[in-house]
Structure 1
Amino acid sequence: MSSEIAREGTFWLHSVLLGMAVTLVYDFLRIFRRVFPHGIFWISIEDLIYWCVVAGSFFSLLYLENNGTFRWFCVFGAAVGMLVVKSTASPFLVKAGARFGLWIKKVISYVAGWLMRPVKYTFRIGKNGFSKIFRGARRSARILKKRLTSRLKLAKIALCKQNRKALRGRKNG
């Protein structure tokens, strides 16, 4: 077998493997989206980054193994690799991976909740204690306001009486 044919066969095999790898990476991205659902904006950002990495990977393959020359059989090889993974492993992988990811998320959430019990208890006690303190402070403030208001009224009355006496004294004098 000629070395040129062996090089072309290796190039085609690498393009098939790259197609498989690209599909598996996207499957892991799909698993991540099922485990941690998020909005269309973040999905678009993830897809943009994914496709930039895929384009860079294919460009690297073409540049390193074929001197940057575009070859359709490279695209065909990548498509074959993608179809092989998509039709065999992908459905099982995404379903099982999402279930496993959701289970891990549930376990971590349970453990974190269990570990946070003392903190929650402390905050609940603190909240109840602070609410009692604030309730007492509000009551004291209300009483203080009533006392100050009544004393202010008394002061105004006293000032008015003194002003009246002073005015009478000026008129009489």
Structure 2
Amino acid sequence: MSGLYSTVSDEAVFFLCCIAVGALAVFLYDILRISRRIVKVGVSVVTAEDILFFVVAALMLFYVAYLKNSGEVRWQGFIGGALGVVLYIFVVRNRVVDTGTVLVRWFMKMFVGAVRICLFPVRIIFKALKKPIAVVAWYTGKSLRRAKRLARQAKLRVGMRAKGAFLMLRKK
């Protein structure tokens, strides 16, 4: 008689695990939905994400069947998974997506703010050096233009390469 109760309790545990896996699968899909709200992607990326999600969800359900039910696929596993999905959708789905989106956007703003604070001294240094660098660049450009003009008169070609200036005789 105790064997019957242990079998029923094992099946009940399996059923509850399948409910949890169904709810977990929808939670993972909600994470995908949150990422889609934050970063807009194309239809092909959404399709690839959905296919990957359904493969992972099926593997999760079969893994639970393997662990708890010796690999046997039974109807209560599918019903438990579907019940977990339905319970999750009716109880928490929209709240999770809305709250998750708000939290992710808030953390992104905090991260951007921290980066701006860290880069503030660098911005000040660049602003301070902007004018002297512009003057040097102007004089360098002026000198290069003057050298090119003189080279044209002397039939030479003057230019700049990555490793420095060069002079060549111009071909006629």
Name the TM-score, length of structure 2 as normaliser. Answer: 0.75
Q: Secondary structure at the match of 2:73?
A: coil
**Following superposition, which runs of at least 4 residues in structure 1 exceed 6 angstroms of deviation?**
none
- Residue 80 (structure 1) aligned with residue 76 (structure 2): no
Q: What count of residue pairs does the alignment treat as equivalent?
A: 152
Taking structure 1 as reference, are residues 38 and 119 closer, same or farther at Cα in structure 2, changes over 3 Å only? farther
| 8 Å contact from structure 2 (residues 23, 87) kept in 1 | yes
What is the CA deviation profile of residues 149-169 of structure 1, one whole-angstrom value per residue up to 9, with x for unaligned ones?
A: 4466xxxxxxxxxxxxxxxxx
State the Cα distance separating 1:23 from its structure 2 match. 1.2
Q: Give 2:70's aligned amino acid.
A: N
Taking structure 1 as reference, are residues 150 and 78 closer, same or farther at Cα in structure 2, changes over 3 Å only? closer
- Residue 144 (structure 1) aligned with residue 150 (structure 2): no
2:133 maps to 130
Higher strand share: 2
Taking structure 1 as reference, are residues 15 and 136 closer, same or farther at Cα in structure 2, changes over 3 Å only? same
Q: Give 2:135's aligned amino acid.
A: K
Q: Give the alignment partner of residue 34 of structure 2, picking from 31, 36, 48.
A: 31
1:121 maps to 124
State the Cα distance separating 1:84 from its structure 2 match. 0.5
Separation (CA, whole Å) in 2 of partners of 1:20 and 1:83: 8
For structure 1, the residue ranges without an aligned partner over 5 or more in a row are 153-173
Q: How does 1:1-173 map to 2 (within 5 A)?
A: 2-150=5-153
Q: Secondary structure at the match of 2:136?
A: helix
Separation (CA, whole Å) in 2 of partners of 1:42 and 1:130: 45
State the Cα distance separating 1:72 from its structure 2 match. 1.8
2:168 maps to none
Structure of higher CA gyration radius: 1
Separation (CA, whole Å) in 2 of partners of 1:83 and 1:39: 28
Separation (CA, whole Å) in 1 of partners of 2:100 and 2:12: 33
State the Cα distance separating 1:43 from its structure 2 match. 3.2
Separation (CA, whole Å) in 2 of partners of 1:144 and 1:12: 85
Q: Give 2:106's aligned amino acid.
A: W
Higher helix share: 1
Separation (CA, whole Å) in 2 of partners of 1:99 and 1:49: 25
Name the TM-score, length of structure 1 as normaliser. Answer: 0.75
State the Cα distance separating 1:126 from its structure 2 match. 4.2
